[in-house]
Structure 1
């Protein structure tokens, strides 16, 4: 729920109830926080380069990272990669089922298999056994661009019905092998097709879903398509983990993923900047200020909201609902708000430098309060056992 207090019911999102699975030590589904994923684009055999990219993704907030295993050398490289990173690694498996077995043996936390190209049931059975033996979860990764031939013949073209049938057929195979630690994705580059497939599938099973609009495009167009498709599903309560697929630096996928979740109140990480588009009333350069400010605040992981408004029309009102607010005033004298309340005025000082200091101080205050509350809760929980 976006607003568990019920004060703003129009913001409530009732998430779909699903089974919960484990991807390494990360929980997916069953009410767990929605996780954000990306995928490396370095050659997997370049262990140093792949590890460096995974660490960058970790720093950006990635919960899970997928690594492609197109050949035996790549699946073998997983052993060295996994031991050098701190988040679960998903092995992306296509065409050759042996890569899935090798990936499980070499430390993958999850195996992504594509029903359209993984092969016969006997091969899937071997991959499932490897997953069981090595404590891996799995993802059934249906893709509109690589559906099974018999489904394309049945439906004539890729469509939501074909994707859902593919997913349910593969889910049935895993369940018949007594394997339930899996999630499902039904991705398409067409926003309508992907959304319809996920919505249909949500009515027919309780497995957790990995969301994505595949091959969404470049950073700008892909972000828009993903925001529409994923936002639509998340707003309906559908989705337990997601990847924003962009032809861009994978770190950008993590940033956009969190921005989508933040916009719906489903998960918060870092600073959410509320800013006006600027107009003739602005009392300072809003656009460039916000551009630099977002870059300067990228190191803050504490969930916070900062408003930067050019004039007094909406500035004071927006500031009431933010941790740090800034409103442009006449004659170069601006108003700073902290905790929703007027704090002080700013004149003849760099706006960005000042706001960065205010945000850092507020972040420290929030983290200190959170730590104190956690310690108090721990003491309260220990008290009964100590008395016994």
Structure 2
């Protein structure tokens, strides 16, 4: 089922499903019990553009901390629960906006019913999560291994347990570290459920490899019109997850805002330190919420032509570079002044005559 056809679900002050914009999620790597450290990390992620944040709730202290964390942050808070229904209920009572559980490991039907009852009382969504690494033994045997079909059957069966109680405020996620398995599984489940889908390539790796795998996996899934929220799961700073997620959505045309960097590969004509400049420009651009293309070119031979479609750009020469706005060269500056010249342009963007 494509995004436009999925059920709308309210998560705090955000809405997903039913054609709503695809939102970017991340998860704190702090100890949730440490309210100050967790809130400080969430503030950083909010600034990066995080739409929804998840925290691990593995203790009573973490469940209690939810209340104080919620008071300070501005985006919806999701509690990640495993094995202990009491913690899920406590997190709900302390004001969490959504819970993530695996109904199969929550402690049996009675325990699950207590969680559903608490969620129903406050009308908060339950995210049913299934990972390829924890697929039930009987489904592995049925399909002779971990397969897309097994992941889908598991997720729908678990959602069905909650549905049978009469509650349908549900979000589903099926994750695998195998990109093509994830793709096939999402194509299958999109035909079988009305619920919004949270998508991601789980345990995808470090910032470099994980970002590439996630870009491929999320890109092909989202391009099918499938997926309502995304997480780029990386072994690294959660802020990197947000940056990668935003680039993926912007590349596919699913998110506006933020500067799009266009930079050329280096070659023998390059006469400036292009790699260093491009990295500094990327860091600079992250501070601006401007929906423009910014080109960083390594030479003045092809630079002006290649950058003419960009809104703003620089092209390096020997010890200097040219500044280009809307395809027109506006001035030449020394190499060590290129970054400052770009900053000045960005600071005044929209105010030029």
TM-score by length of 1: 0.85
Residue of 149, 161, 164 corresponding to 2:149:
161
Aligned runs of 1:171-250 on 2, under 5 Å? 171-250=159-238
Q: d(CA) in 2 for partners of 1:138 and 1:323?
A: 43
Change in 2 beyond 3 A, CA 1:179/1:316: farther
Residue of 291, 302, 313 corresponding to 1:303:
291
Matched, 1:89 2:65: no
Residue of 44, 48, 68 corresponding to 1:60:
48
Matched, 1:341 2:330: no
Matched, 1:258 2:250: no
Per mean C-alpha deviation after superposition, the further-off stretch among 304-313 and 133-142 is: 304-313
Q: CA shift at 1:314, angstroms?
A: 4.5
Q: CA shift at 1:342, angstroms?
A: 0.7
Matched, 1:285 2:267: no
CA RMSD of aligned residues (A): 2.0
Tell me the equivalent position of 2:343.
Answer: 356
Q: d(CA) in 2 for partners of 1:16 and 1:134?
A: 26
Tell me the equivalent position of 2:282.
Answer: 294
Tell me the equivalent position of 1:105.
Answer: 93
Q: d(CA) in 1 for partners of 2:104 and 2:304?
A: 55
Q: d(CA) in 2 for partners of 1:18 and 1:313?
A: 50
Q: CA shift at 1:217, angstroms?
A: 1.1
Q: CA shift at 1:311, angstroms?
A: 3.0
Tell me the equivalent position of 2:26.
Answer: 38
Q: d(CA) in 1 for partners of 2:261 and 2:236?
A: 23
Q: CA shift at 1:283, angstroms?
A: 4.2
Q: Deviations over 1:40-96 (max 9, x none)?
A: 111111111111111111111100000111122211111111111111100001111
Q: CA shift at 1:292, angstroms?
A: 1.3
* Contact kept? 2:323, 2:333, Cα under 8 Å: no
Per mean C-alpha deviation after superposition, the further-off stretch among 134-143 and 152-161 is: 152-161
Change in 2 beyond 3 A, CA 1:20/1:321: farther
**Matched residue pairs, number?**
350
Q: d(CA) in 1 for partners of 2:199 and 2:9?
A: 15
> Structure 2: where are the runs of 5+ without partners?
none
* Contact kept? 2:148, 2:182, Cα under 8 Å: yes
Match of 2:194, SS state, is coil
Q: d(CA) in 2 for partners of 1:317 and 1:240?
A: 38
* Contact kept? 1:332, 1:347, Cα under 8 Å: no
Aligned runs of 1:310-349 on 2, under 5 Å? 310-312=298-300, 314-328=302-316, 334-338=321-325, 340-348=326-334
Q: d(CA) in 1 for partners of 2:300 and 2:269?
A: 9
Q: Deviations over 1:154-184 (max 9, x none)?
A: 3343221111001111222222323222211
Change in 2 beyond 3 A, CA 1:49/1:196: same
Tell me the equivalent position of 1:147.
Answer: 135
TM-score by length of 2: 0.93
Q: Deviations over 1:96-119 (max 9, x none)?
A: 111111111111100101134123
Match of 2:288, SS state, is coil
Q: CA shift at 1:313, angstroms?
A: 5.4
* Contact kept? 2:294, 2:310, Cα under 8 Å: yes
Tell me the equivalent position of 1:374.
Answer: none
Q: d(CA) in 1 for partners of 2:115 and 2:305?
A: 57
Runs of 4+ in 1 over 6 A off after TM superposition: none
Q: d(CA) in 1 for partners of 2:234 and 2:35?
A: 23
Residue of 110, 134, 145 corresponding to 2:122:
134
